[in-house]
Amino acid sequence: MTDKILDFVEFKKNGIDGVDGLAGVDSVTVSPDGKFLYASGYLDSAVAVFARNADTGKLSFVEFQQDGINGVNGLANASSVTVSPDGKFLYASGYFDSAVAVFARNADTGKLSFMEVQKDGTNGIDGLGGVESVTVSPDGKFLYAAGATDSAVGVFARNADTGKLSFVEFQKDGSNGVDGLGGAESVTVSPDGKFLYAAGYDDSAVGVFARNAQTGKLSFVEVQKDGTNGIDGLGGANSVTVSPDGKFLYAAGYDDSAVAVFTRNAETGKLSFVEVQKDGTNGVDGLAGAESVTVSPDDKFLYANGINDSAVAVFARDAKTGKLTFLKVQKDGKDGVDGLAGAYSVTVSPDSKFVYTGGYDDSAVSVFNSPNNVSVLTKITGDIFSLKTKLNVKGDKGKLSIKIKNSTSKDVNELGVFVVDDEQGKINGIAPGAQGYTEAALLRSKVIFSTLANLPNGFKTADLTNILEFDSDTKLRFYLVSNTTTQSVLSGKNFSNVLFSSATNNNVENEGFSLNFQNLVVDVQATEQEVLLGTGLQGKNQGELIDLRSVTESVKANFVVNREASYNNFVGFYQVADENGGIDTNGDGKADILVGQAGYAQAAVRGRVAGIDLTVNNQGTATSTGTFGANSLFAPFIIVDGRPDAILTGTANKNVYFAFLGANSDKVNHIRLLGNNTFGFEDLKDGGDKDYNDVIVQTKLRIT
């Protein structure tokens, strides 16, 4: 039975089913489009090509290119392979040839066509002696190669059209203050392109270089050596990688059978030691003779090969600290796993779904599923639930989906959730049912949505999305506030309208639960759906906002508008400077007009997002599109039976209401959260009939 953590899929072995070129697999990589895998066969002096099934991860042999055949040169003892970021060219290093071979790549078939070779000692080229590793800079302009016997890094400019290389320079250990390149085995460039890092096996070190983006030239910055300043795990350093977020560096130490972790200063490129994960320590396995290390493109996992263990190990990554948590090891010959003997190289598909390893002794490529870190919702006891991820490591987030199954109430009710401290449901030592419990619960609650009693034509609650996210291993309870809001209950200290679910109304359904609150039934399930863009503040007090502060690009919005009202209302959005609703009028990023101050309504309407003018006929449905700016926070408003000019000129006595109660003339709530990025509006003064269906706006967002 599989546990969905690095499950074995298949292996492709040299000499079986026509596969060739894999003898002594030394390096594996997947093309940027994810369609093909390339492997260097050290003993075959070749590069093997496989088509890749994106759904299953399985491989189909296509061809191989071998040194000395059809004019191919530079692949003697092929040691490393990489594909340019544009996917047009492949570069392979030949250890015995001390060379880099260049191939054009057919994007449709994956097949390779030999273009040229660059060899050490020819045409002034230096630094390629015993070349072990090649990489292309993220901008695609330069190639860097680690020469083990030269203890150097060679630099080449790259022609983007032809793929051909031109030698620029080399940096050598012991020259001009350079250190850490003794027996250079591996080289990588940071995602921002500013720095290069090289692992020196003989030096048991990582050398750091600043990179000139225009010339590609390198300037030595520093060296981090095993056994100095508390550093451990770099003994026999032979593989180095930077996490996709650019914040951390990981290095494999062959002699230490370990992976060393460093934080990375984005400005200086310098490294600071964080921790070491060693084979045989704290349950860690699979790192004996650590040979290769990589981080998945989604930044969630680290994979490492132990050649002496014939294994691949997977670690969960803490995105904040960079620290690793050992999850599992797969070893050759165990549980049906094959192809890992002498595990030498590991890579991950661009979608992070599959892991590929090269087994030097097996002359094979093995395929594994990446960990499926699903959310799991379980009932602890009564109405107390546990939400955690399958792996449940620090930094994980569990996600819930909440859907209305049935609602027959004649009131507008509010559903919420809160975190409890233990399996008994206590909050700060207060037990359920004890005095002060309800207030303590609401003070730490998150509103999920409000339910409407009277739905406009065309509006369906089944269409609403409600995705919530919590830290893994969180314990939860749900509650209902009848005919009012959580904030109103807290303000009035009248808790009679608060209802908690109980043990008698929880039923297991479809791997989730059904919660029955008298006239409301909701389905609660763990989900793998992503939290929707813009919802970061929704569920908080006066949090009916669209939060795009972490977005660096413009956001396209698709609106669906419904109405059940006699008034011909207008809904728009305006930018606020902060969560309190202040408005920046002079562009300095600070609030100049605060909620409740004179001129707030005019400033909001004047600063509304252009092109988002939402209106609809009574009992009709209207759709429209608009664009929100990046790095910003937006709040909705409703103009009752009027248009923006009426507010700006003051020629008509029209009311305008906001998500911030202090900005409303009656200090009453006129906007309720009906679901993720879905808002219901009440257009009558003092809350009127409090049906919040006078206008309903559903918003779907995507980055343009």
- Give me the pLDDT at residue 2, please: 62
Write the burial class of residue 210 (CB in 10 Å: 0-12 exposed, 13-18 middle, 19+ buried). middle
Query: What are the backbone angles phi and psi of residue 340, rounded to the nearest 5°?
Result: -100, 0
Tell me the CA distances in angstroms from 646 to 605, 650, 655, 657, one per residue in order: 10, 6, 9, 14
Q: Can you read off the two tokens belonging to residue 501?
A: 């679910």
Q: What is the percent of the chain with per-residue pLDDT over 90, rounded to a whole number?
A: 89
Query: Among 150, 152, 156, 165, which Cα is nearest to 217's?
Result: 156
- Give me the pLDDT at residue 226, please: 98
3-state SS string over 601-631? HHHHHHCECCCCCECCCCCCEEEEEEEECCC
Q: Distance between CA atoms of 198 and 151, rounded to whole angstroms?
A: 10
CB 429 within 8 A of CB 437: no
- Give me the pLDDT at residue 504, please: 40
- Give me the pLDDT at residue 125, please: 97
- Give me the pLDDT at residue 61, please: 98
- Give me the pLDDT at residue 505, please: 46
Q: Can you read off the two tokens belonging to residue 5?
A: 């953590």
Q: Which residue has the tokens 């305006």?
A: 574
Instruction: Give tens-digit pLDDT for 206-249.
Output: 999 999 999 999 999 999 999 999 999 999 999 999 999 999 99
Please check the confidence at residue 641 and state whether its pLDDT lies above 70: yes
Set out the domains of the chain in order of their start, with CATH numbers: 8-369 (2.130.10.10), 375-526 (no CATH), 546-703 (no CATH)
- Give me the pLDDT at residue 276, please: 98
Instruction: Give tens-digit pLDDT for 38-78.
Output: 999 999 999 999 999 999 999 999 999 999 999 999 999 99
Q: What is the percent of the chain with per-residue pLDDT over 70, rounded to a whole number?
A: 98
Query: Among 555, 701, 579, which Cα is nearest to 633's?
Result: 579
Confidence class for position 1, pLDDT limits 50, 70, 90: very low
More confident residue, 518 or 93: 93
Instruction: Give tens-digit pLDDT for 117-167.
Output: 999 999 999 999 999 999 999 999 999 999 999 999 999 999 999 999 999
Mean pLDDT (whole number) for 398-422? 94
Beta-ladder partners of 188? 197
Residues 6+ apart with CB under 8 A from 247: 263, 264, 266, 322
Instruction: Give tens-digit pLDDT for 447-469.
Output: 999 999 999 999 999 888 899 99
Tell me the CA distances in angstroms from 120 to 131, 147, 545, one per residue in order: 9, 9, 61
Confidence class for position 517, pLDDT limits 50, 70, 90: confident
Taking the CA atoms of the chain, what radius of gyration do you get in angstroms?
Answer: 30
- Give me the pLDDT at residue 48, please: 98
Please check the confidence at residue 568 and state whether its pLDDT lies above 60: yes
Q: Distance between CA atoms of 73 and 102, rounded to whole angstroms?
A: 9
- Give me the pLDDT at residue 503, please: 46
Instruction: Give tens-digit pLDDT for 477-509.
Output: 999 999 999 999 998 888 999 999 754 444 544
590-602 burial, b for 16+ CB within 10 Å, e for fewer? Answer: ebebbbeeeebbb
**Rounded mean pLDDT of the chain?**
95
- Give me the pLDDT at residue 450, please: 95
Give DSSP secondary structure letters for 84-107.
-TTSSEEEEEETTTTEEEEEEE-T
Q: Distance between CA atoms of 466 and 548, rounded to whole angstroms?
A: 18
- Give me the pLDDT at residue 516, please: 85
Percent of residues in the chain assigned helix, strand, coil, to nearest 5: 5, 45, 50
Question: Residue 628, Cβ neighbours under 10 Å: how many?
Answer: 23
Q: Distance between CA atoms of 345 and 25, rounded to whole angstroms?
A: 8
186-202 burial, b for 16+ CB within 10 Å, e for fewer? Answer: bbbbbeebbbbbbbbbb
Instruction: Give tens-digit pLDDT for 426-445.
Output: 999 999 999 999 999 999 99
- Give me the pLDDT at residue 511, please: 62
- Give me the pLDDT at residue 4, please: 74
More confident residue, 181 or 392: 181
- Give me the pLDDT at residue 374, please: 86
CB 357 within 8 A of CB 343: yes
Please check the confidence at residue 360 and state whether its pLDDT lies above 70: yes
Instruction: Give tens-digit pLDDT for 239-291.
Output: 999 999 999 999 999 999 999 999 999 999 999 999 999 999 999 999 999 99
Q: Distance between CA atoms of 81 and 73, rounded to whole angstroms?
A: 14
Mean pLDDT (whole number) for 663-692? 95
